[in-house]
Structure 1
Amino acid sequence: MRRLGTVLTAVVLAGAAVSATAVSATAAPATGAAPAAAPSAACDTGGWGSALKSADARDHQPLKQIKAGQHACYDRLVFEVPTAGGKPVGYRIGYVKELHQDGSGDLIKVGGGAILEIRVAAPSYDPETGKSTYPGKAGQPLPGVDVKGYRTFKDTRFGSSFEGDTQIGLGVAKRLPFRVVQQKNQLIVDVAHS
């Protein structure tokens, strides 16, 4: 019985190796470029997870810009927030069933299979002058952010800027692992392709 189990295990592993080779071969671009690395080796998203992530607010500087980008293993949303002395920016990011605008509670429709609500401790206006620093409009797509053709991102919606926080709805293909990284004046949200 033990020998049969060993033989079956060897057959299953050999079949998996052949399947992985076939997938890599068919995934190679037809243009003659080098084949893409196997996703499991190149796309290590261990430790990302899909649970709520947050950090305390330490600096309430106004939001300047939001940009999006595509990478081999994930799609990226970058919040430009000037910080004093490189202090981390507070945030609260997690999946929600629906996006409700802060302050009014109005429902904002967000396309995609799942909604990632992103709250950044940075108002989209200058608190001292009231002048807008980021031109987002409630319920509208993010200005200058076009996610058409993205593998994971499907929609973006500006929620509000309320009590020092800016709220964004990010529509993604489905509930996928994500991570949050801070670098100098940037708060970065990466959502994995799988």
Structure 2
Amino acid sequence: MAAGLGLLAPGPAAASPYCGLVWGSLAKADAAMSQAKVVNVRTGQHYCFDRLVIDLNGPAAGYSVRYVPQVVQDGSGLPIPLRGQAFIQLTANAPAYDAGGKSTYNPANKAELSNVGGYQTFRQVAWAGSFEGYTSLGLGVRARLPFRVFTLAGPGSGSRLVIDVAHFW
């Protein structure tokens, strides 16, 4: 009867994580160095997140992915202008050139590695360079949102470094 009269309040509601995601927005890193070379960068849209994939021609190893006030070029430290309200600096511990210095990935437009128009979270993906065995990209996003980083084997003898950024918290 007390419940019918509104005298009993329901228990506190616990907010469920968006799409069940329990990622955070703090830096994620693995210090291992890869012998593989960067050969492609691509993006995709998923129901709960936007995805950036760095394709390598061998086994993926280390990386550093973190929110920064401004993305900078490898070597020079010059700023990379990006659209968005938050910026992620992605560094793959793998070069985008072979032992002879020949490029293994040479984007046609360094300011727009992938067309992310219409994406819910991504605003721009830009090239930040490949220097001394590391390759860096800048990712402009809608806001500082949770993300995850992982590697996948394949296809074939290649691998992928994957960065997913959630649409919401």
Establish whether TM, by shorter chain, passes 0.5.
yes
Distance 1:45 1:6, change over 3 A: farther
Structure showing greater relative contact order (alpha-carbon pairs closer than 8 Å, 6 or more residues apart): 2
Query: Is the alpha carbon distance of 1:137 and 1:164 closer, same or farther for their aligned partners in structure 2, counting shifts above 3 Å?
Result: farther
Within a 5 Å distance, the mapping from 1:30-45 to structure 2 comes to: 43-45=19-21
Corresponding letter in the other structure for 1:7? L
* 1:41 CA displacement: 7.9
Q: Indicate whether 1:91 and 2:63 are aligned.
A: yes
Q: Indicate whether 1:9 and 2:10 are aligned.
A: yes
**Higher fraction of strand:** 2
What is residue 178 of structure 1 aligned with on the other side? 147
**DSSP 3-state at the match of 1:43:** helix
2:74 corresponds, among 102, 126, 130, to 102
Please give the secondary structure, in 1, of the residue aligned with 2:8.
helix
Q: Does the CA-based 8 Å contact 2:37-2:104 persist in structure 1?
A: yes
* Identity %, equivalent residues: 41
Asked whether the equivalents of residues 66 and 77 of structure 1 are also in contact (C-alpha less than 8 Å), the reply is: yes
Give the number of aligned pairs: 159
2:36 pairs with 56, 61, 64, which one?
Answer: 61
- Tell me if 1:130 matches 2:101: yes
Larger radius of gyration: 1
What is the aligned partner in structure 2 of residue 165 from structure 1? 134
Match among 147, 156, 162 for residue 188 of structure 1: 162
Q: Does 1:81 align with 2:35?
A: no
What's the CA shift string for 1:61-117, capped at 9, x where partnerless? 21011110000000000111122xx4x411000000011112111111111010011
RMSD: 2.6
Answer whether contact 2:33 2:94 (CA < 8 A) is retained: no
More helix by share: 1
Displacement after TM superposition at 1:137 (Å): 7.3
5+ residue gaps, structure 1 = 14-39
Give the TM-score, by structure 2 length.
Answer: 0.85
- Structure 2, unmatched stretches of 5+, are 154-158
TM-aligned CA deviation for residue 138 of structure 1:
8.9
Which deviations, in whole Å up to 9, do the C-alpha atoms of 1:148-182 show, x marking residues without a partner? 00000011110010111111000010000000111
- The corresponding residue for 1:32 is none
Q: Structure 1 residue 72 and structure 2 residue 72: aligned?
A: no
